[in-house]
Amino acid sequence: MTLADMTAERDPSGSVALAVDLGGTKVEAALVTAEGVVVDGSAHRAPTGPDAGRRALEDAVDRVVLASIAHLPDGSALVGVGVGSAGPVDLGRGTVSPKNLPRLHGFDLRTHVARLLPDAPVVVRLDGTCIALAEHWLGATRGTENSMAMIVSTGVGGGIILHGRLIAGRSGNAGHIGQVQIASRVPGESADDATLERIASGPRSVAWARTRGWDGHTGEELAVDAAAGDPVARSAVVRSATAVGQAIASAATLLDLEAVAVGGGFTAVSTDYLDLVRVAVQDAIVLDYAAGVVVTGSALDGAGPILGAAALVHRPEALGLPPLDPMHHPRRRSLAR
């Protein structure tokens, strides 16, 4: 018996969301139930990347969407499509311009997806805000009203929930914590280089260590050497975590946050990475109320973007929208392929 069968048996009238995540290295799609369960067999992915042409990227989106939707369980209803995208985005125009997919800039992702599924409402949001929504729904910030989620990886991104509601901002780009200034630049670096991503990301940490004589090339090598006691590798790890902590301190002060969930591949560079972040948060905070912010690891890791995209459908109240009315959505119909 597959998970899809189980889901169908357990909740024969189940509402299912199609979740799509468009990122700099891959695009993913999956069907997700209202309980946050990925329907068995429905998760599909295709590569993207900065060198891909526009047509190839559009085809990749189509391919994962159609492969995923084919797994809609009998008796389930597709109640909507949630799409997370690498930013920046322009929600007013409905377009996305992922930094690492230059050929796709100005892409009308909403209309592109909607043409495949003409009866389902499609909601697009920044991927970082989807991750915040996922942690708030099913993960590390569940039960809080004011939280942030962060990803530290090849880039540094995030999303913010305040008073229980996803913060989009004017154009949908709120949550770009990677481009916030922090104080931890070293003498000789310019203020331009004092934004979080340029200090703390995996590639920047590797590059920083190399300028100081370390001769590895990857985050994995940095992790091994830091664990083995290489002082430069270890310094690169501490420098990244400290910068992340300083940015969290600023955000927790400015927004009076309860909790911050930190995930992303580079946080695995050291087993004490989160501890280093927590120390830096406390060192940088100057007002008592902010010191109560709880810093945790992500509870969802790689599943965050897809679960968050699904939350755009299943948790409309967090977007400031009225709750889904099932009568206003197509139910129990077959989807044209």
The residues binding a copy of itself (CB under 8 A) are 88, 90, 145-146, 160, 162-163, 165, 167-177, 179-185, 187, 191-192, 194-195, 246-247, 249-251, 253-258, 283-290, 292, 320
Contact in structure between 197 and 112 (CB atoms under 8 Å): no
Q: How far is the CB of 125 from a copy of itself (least distance, A)?
A: 12
Q: Using CA atoms, how far apart are residues 209 and 62, in angstroms rounded to an integer?
A: 41
Q: How far is the CB of 42 from a copy of itself (least distance, A)?
A: 32
Q: How far is the CB of 254 from a copy of itself (least distance, A)?
A: 5
Give the nearer residue to a copy of itself in terms of CB position, either 146 or 240: 146
Q: Kindly state the DSSP code that residue 323 receives in the 8-state scheme.
A: P
Contact in structure between 289 and 37 (CB atoms under 8 Å): no
Contact in structure between 54 and 73 (CB atoms under 8 Å): no
Give the nearer residue to a copy of itself in terms of CB position, either 120 or 177: 177
Give the nearer residue to a copy of itself in terms of CB position, either 71 or 125: 125
CA-CA-CA-CA dihedral for 263, 264, 266, 268, to nearest 10: 60
Q: Using CA atoms, how far apart are residues 291 and 281, in angstroms rounded to an integer?
A: 8
Contact in structure between 274 and 267 (CB atoms under 8 Å): yes
Q: Which residues pair with 33 in a beta bridge?
A: 16
Give the nearer residue to a copy of itself in terms of CB position, either 117 or 236: 236
Give the nearer residue to a copy of itself in terms of CB position, either 288 or 325: 288
Give the nearer residue to a copy of itself in terms of CB position, either 46 or 182: 182
Backbone angles phi, psi at 217, to 5 degrees: -135, -15
Backbone angles phi, psi at 16, to 5 degrees: -120, 140
Q: How far is the CB of 249 from a copy of itself (least distance, A)?
A: 7
Q: How far is the CB of 252 from a copy of itself (least distance, A)?
A: 9
Q: Six-digit token pair at 319?
A: 């977007």
Q: How far is the CB of 293 from a copy of itself (least distance, A)?
A: 9
Q: How far is the CB of 232 from a copy of itself (least distance, A)?
A: 21
Q: How far is the CB of 183 from a copy of itself (least distance, A)?
A: 3
Backbone angles phi, psi at 327, to 5 degrees: -70, -20
Q: Which residues pair with 19 in a beta bridge?
A: 30, 82
Buried b (16+ CB within 10 A) or exposed e, 108-143: ebbebbbebbeebbbbbbbbbbbbbbbbbbbbbbee
Backbone angles phi, psi at 59, to 5 degrees: -65, -40
Give the nearer residue to a copy of itself in terms of CB position, either 62 or 145: 145
Give the nearer residue to a copy of itself in terms of CB position, either 118 or 289: 289
